[in-house]
A and B are shown apart, each in its own frame.
Chain A
Amino acid sequence: MSGAGRAAVTPTVVARRRARSPRQVALKWAFLLACIAYFVLPLLGTLLFSLRSQPFLSAFTDTLNDPQFYSSLEYSFVIGIVTIVVSIVLLVPTAFWVRLRLPRLRPIVEFVTLLPFVVPPIVLVFGLITTFSRPPLPLTGSNLGSDVLLVCAYVVLSFPYMYRAVDTGLRSMDIRSLTEASQSLGAGWLTILWRVILPNLRVALLSGSFLTLAIVVGEFTIANFLARPMFAPYLQLISGNLAYEPAAVAVISFAITWAAMGAISLLGRGSRSKIQVGGAR
Chain B
Amino acid sequence: MTSDARPAPAARAGRRRLGPQWLGVVPFFAFAALFLLIPISYLVVGSFQDQQGNVTVQNYLNLSRPITASAYMASIEISFVTALLGGLLGFLLAYVVIAGGIPGPFRSGVMTFSGVASNFAGVPLALAFIFTIGRTGFVTVILREVLGLDLYGSGFTIYSKIGLEIVYLYFQLPLMVLIIAPAIDGLRRDWREAAEGMGATSYHYWRYIALPILLPSLLGSMILLFGNAFGAQATAFALTGGFINLVTILIGGQLSGDVLGDRNLAYALAMGMVAIMGVTILAYTWLTRRAERWQRS
Contact = CB atoms under 8 A, between A and B. Distances in A.
Interface of A: 1, 3, 10-17, 20, 28, 31-32, 35, 38-39, 41-46, 48-49, 90-91, 93-94, 97-98, 100-102, 105-107, 109-112, 114-120, 122-128, 130-131, 152-153, 155-156, 159-161, 164-165, 167-169, 171-173, 179-180, 183-184, 187-190, 201, 203-204, 206-207, 210-211, 213-215, 217-218, 220, 239, 246-247, 250, 254, 257-258, 261-262, 265
Interface string B160-199: 0000000001100111001111111111111010000000
A101 B24 contact: yes
A94 B25 CA distance: 6
Contact of B39 (A38, A119, A261): A119
Nearest to A263: B112
Given A13-B184, A122-B256, A210-B114, A94 B28 contact: yes
B185 A203 contact: yes
A250 B270 CA distance: 30
Contact of A118 (B7, B113, B181, B230): B230
B14 to A, nearest CB: 7
28 contacts: A12-B188, A14-B98, A16-B189, A31-B92, A32-B102, A39-B174, A45-B129, A45-B139, A46-B124, A46-B128, A90-B31, A106-B285, A114-B227, A118-B227, A118-B276, A118-B277, A120-B252, A123-B39, A123-B42, A124-B39, A131-B38, A168-B183, A179-B8, A183-B8, A217-B119, A239-B123, A247-B131, A258-B115
Given A13-B184, A93-B24, A117 B285 contact: no
Interface string B223-242: 11001101101000000000
Decide if the interface of chain B is mainly helix, strand, loop or mixed: helix
Contact of A189 (B2, B41, B183): B2
Given A31-B93, A171-B217, A261 B116 contact: yes
B128 A42 contact: yes
A20 B52 CA distance: 70
A119 B280 CA distance: 16
B87 to A, nearest CB: 12
A131 B39 CA distance: 8
A118 B277 CA distance: 8
B274 interface: yes
A156 B189 contact: no
A119 B43 contact: yes
Contacts of B2: 189
Interface string B26-50: 0111011011101111110000000
A218 B188 contact: no
Nearest to A250: B124
A98 B18 CA distance: 12
Contacts of B285: 106-107, 110
Interface in B250-292: 251-252, 255-256, 266-267, 270, 273-274, 276-278, 281-282, 284-285
With a 10 A CB-CB cut-off, give which of B39, B43, B120, B137 has the most chain A CB atoms.
B39
B148 interface: no
Interface in B106-156: 108, 111-125, 127-129, 131-132, 137-139
B100 interface: yes
A205 B24 CA distance: 20
B188 A13 contact: yes
A153 B34 CA distance: 10
Contacts of A165: 178-179, 182
B25 to A, nearest CB: 6
B281 A114 contact: yes
B128 A43 contact: yes
Decide if the interface of chain A is mainly helix, strand, loop or mixed: helix
Interface of B: 1-3, 7-8, 11, 14-15, 18, 21-22, 24-25, 27-29, 31-32, 34-36, 38-43, 89, 92-93, 96-102, 104, 108, 111-125, 127-129, 131-132, 137-139, 169-170, 173-175, 178-190, 192, 216-217, 220-221, 223-224, 227-228, 230-231, 233, 248, 251-252, 255-256, 266-267, 270, 273-274, 276-278, 281-282, 284-285
Given A107-B285, A112-B32, A114-B224, 9 more contacts: A48-B138, A119-B39, A124-B36, A131-B39, A160-B224, A179-B8, A218-B120, A239-B123, A258-B116
A130 B32 CA distance: 16
A236 to B, nearest CB: 9
A172 B185 contact: yes
Contacts of A49: 127, 131
A10 B185 contact: yes
A99 to B, nearest CB: 11
A217 to B, nearest CB: 8
B112 A261 contact: yes
A167 to B, nearest CB: 7
B239 to A, nearest CB: 12
A131 B99 CA distance: 48
B92 A42 contact: no
A218 B111 CA distance: 18
A111 B220 CA distance: 12
Contacts of A111: 277-278, 281
A167 B51 CA distance: 42
Nearest to B26: A94
